[in-house]
Amino acid sequence: MRNVGIVGIGSYVPENVVTNLDLEQFVDTKDEWIVSRTGIKQRHIAPKDMPVSELCYQAGLRALEDARIAPEDVDLIIVATITPDYAFPATACLVADRLGAKKAAAFDLEAGCTGFIYAVATGSQFIASGTYKTVLVIGGETLSKILNWKDRSTCVLFGDGGGAAVLQQVEEGFGFLSFELGSDGSGGSLLSQPAGGSKCPASSETVEKNLHTLQMEGKEVFKFAVRIMGDVSLKVLEKAGLIKEDIDLLIPHQANIRIVDAAVKRLKISPDKVVINLDKYGNMSAASIPVALDEAFQAGLISEGDIIVMVGFGTGLTWGACVLKWTKVGIKND
Ligand code: UT7
């Protein structure tokens, strides 16, 4: 099996910023509540005419430029999203077309906020097995489009964005050292968009009842998240033959600062090893981890050989983590 790593990264968020004070104007909420309960201060929201494929395209383009790889050389594009442009065709096909990735296979993958971890794990297999050389993995969301902006228990939490990574073969000992993925469908109703699928097709009644919007039992998801983040991080480290002291950088899913703090406490790692950007973006679901990874790299927080743990949880319920020994040097094996 070939070793697989990230040889290019990029991200994109829409320009428009909505602060907590902005939200106070039309929802019964307070900046103080949002900051103290979640850590979120603002979020970026896509304009009405900007679909998720645009965010994914922009992020993907930046990642390919960073890797100095032409779109025509991409073998596969995977888009992780729960807010696709359409139920079908897949957003990944639309992104491939925009990029001019003419030979790329393309499909979407749905694992909620764990989507990016699931997508890199999936994309890596194609390279590890020798099937493909270059895979573009994108996590993108426009959650603003499926929120009920009158429901203060959900609408203050989320934001829009996209993050992307180019996967290629890397030197032995580098790249992804382990993955840990899981699911528990018995918790599916805790975080869902109930209408619009085959179980509850769209109708004027479903629209009237707001069933096309995101519904969440926040407290239950919170409890699950606190438990799973620490557990799965320890498991994925063990799989890689490492211990928590080996972590140079932890990139957790950015849902709530209290969830991240609980995981950090459990892992007993120094808070300065933890990447946090939820204050600026809110929860961008599948985009949260790749945007944080890109920002950490741009800020000079990542060096060759660093051990990075990325860990997430989300609808499904799903969870996932990976250990990455950082290098951006791909092996050209034409
Ligand atoms: O990526 C995965 C997706 N989601 C998550 O990870 C979210 C996980 N859950 C959470 O982060 C937290 O459960 C929330 C942030 C959603 C809620 O925090 P909480 O500390 O669990 O608050 P709560 O739901 O118990 O609500 C406490 C109070 C309630 O009022 P009462 O009943 O005590 O009078 C709520 O009505 O806060 C009220 N409340 C609000 N007040 C002001 C709920 N939302 C708001 C709000 N502004 N936006």
Instruction: Give the CATH number of the domain where residue 56 resides.
Output: 3.40.47.10
* 155 C-beta neighbours (distance < 10 Å), count: 21
pLDDT at 332 (0 to 100): 72
User: Domain containing 282: what range?
Assistant: 177-325
Residue type, 154: T
Does some domain include residue 333?
no
Rg of the chain's alpha carbons, rounded to an integer?
Answer: 19
Residue 229: inside a domain, yes or no? yes
Give strand ranges (E) for 16-169: 17-19, 42-44, 76-80, 105-109, 135-142, 160-169
| Cα–Cα distances in angstroms (integers) from residue 298 to residues 8, 10, 175, 286, 309, in the given order | 12, 9, 19, 20, 17
Give the distance (Å) from ligand 1 centre to CA of residue 209. 21
Among protein residues, the one with the nearest Cα to ligand 1's atom 21 is 219
For every one of its 334 residues, what pLDDT tens digit does the chain have, with 9 covering 90 and above? 899 999 999 999 999 999 999 999 999 999 999 999 999 999 999 999 999 999 999 999 999 999 999 999 999 999 999 999 999 999 999 999 999 999 999 999 999 999 999 999 999 999 999 999 999 999 999 999 999 999 999 999 999 999 999 999 999 999 999 999 999 999 999 999 999 999 999 999 999 999 999 999 999 999 999 999 999 999 999 999 999 999 999 999 999 999 999 999 989 999 999 999 999 999 999 999 999 999 999 999 999 999 999 999 999 999 999 999 999 989 976 6
156 lines ligand 1 (CB under 6 A): yes
pLDDT recorded at residue 283: 98
Query: For helices 257-267 and 218-239, what crossing angle results, to 10°?
Result: 30
Q: Is the CB–ligand 1 distance for residue 219 below 6 Å?
A: yes
Residue 18 has a pLDDT of 98
Examine the domain organization and report whether 221 and 159 are in the same domain.
Answer: no
Picking from 140, 175, 210, the residue at the C-terminal end of a domain is 175
Q: Which one of the listed residues 20, 44, 283, 322 is annotated catalytic?
A: 283
pLDDT at 138: 98
Catalytic residue at 155? no
| For the CA of 152, the nearest atom of ligand 1 | 48
The predicted structure's pLDDT at residue 255:
97
213 with 106, same domain?
Answer: no
Name the one residue in this structure whose structure tokens are 């996590």: 139
Asked whether residue 140 falls in the same domain as residue 15, the answer is: yes
| Domain-ending residue, one of 159, 175, 191 | 175
Preceding amide of 89 cis, omega within 30: yes
In this structure, is residue 102 part of a structural domain? yes
Q: Is the CB of 153 under 6 A from ligand 1?
A: yes
The one-letter amino acid code at 284 reads M
